Amino acid sequence: MQQRSQTFRIGLAVVVVLGVIAWLAVSGIQSNKSYYVTISELQGMGGKAYTRHLRVAGNVVPGSIARNGTHAQFVLVELGNRLPVEYAGVEPPPDTFKDNAQALAIGTLGRDGVFHATELQAKCASKYAPAQKPGSPAAPDKTAALQPPTSAN
């Protein structure tokens, strides 16, 4: 009888420990889950937008960046839709975070219409683009500007 009672206790302890581990895993996944949405999708979400952890991308509007230590305020734009963002992270914004840079803000939308970001990623495509070779179609032809226009008579 004593051995049966001890086996029951051990089995109960194993079930409790496994239950706690499963609960911690599920709650950790739920807290780290974030949805990627565009600015237009965010504006069309209604009340759901205020309760979800979101990722929003767009281009930084030139002249909208106001830095203060590790905090920054700026505006993202995507297809004409604008979203004011307040970044309050532990680290300062990245070096590539500049006007016209592509940025990804991770956080929540406040009822005031401002996106409150806790993480910020930025990419500056022009910094990593290859240099244009003279005479290539994308590079302007500087010699054409020096020649007078020809007239067809």
Averaged over 54-83, what is the pLDDT? Answer: 84
Cα(124)–Cα(88) distance, rounded to whole angstroms?
A: 21
Cα(88)–Cα(95) distance, rounded to whole angstroms?
A: 16
In a domain, 85, yes or no: yes
Closest of 119, 126, 120 to residue 101, by C-alpha: 126
> At 113, which helix (H) or strand (E)?
none
In a domain, 105, yes or no: yes
> What confidence score (pLDDT) does residue 56 get?
86
In a domain, 71, yes or no: yes
> Domain tally for the chain?
1
Torsion angle, alpha carbons of 24, 29, 32, 35, to 10: -150
How are the residues of the chain apportioned to helix, strand and coil, as percentages rounded to the nearest 5?
A: 35, 30, 35
Cα(61)–Cα(82) distance, rounded to whole angstroms?
A: 9
Report residue 118's pLDDT band, with 50, 70 and 90 as the boundaries.
confident
Q: Position of tokens 């070096």? A: 95
Report residue 97's pLDDT band, with 50, 70 and 90 as the boundaries.
confident
Q: Position of tokens 């297809």? A: 79
| Residues 92 and 70 sit within 8 Å (Cβ to Cβ) | yes
* Structural domain containing residue 76: 33-128
Report residue 66's pLDDT band, with 50, 70 and 90 as the boundaries.
confident
CATH number, residue 102? 2.40.50.140
Averaged over 120-145, what is the pLDDT? Answer: 56
Closest of 57, 69, 64, 60 to residue 107, by C-alpha: 57
In a domain, 48, yes or no: yes
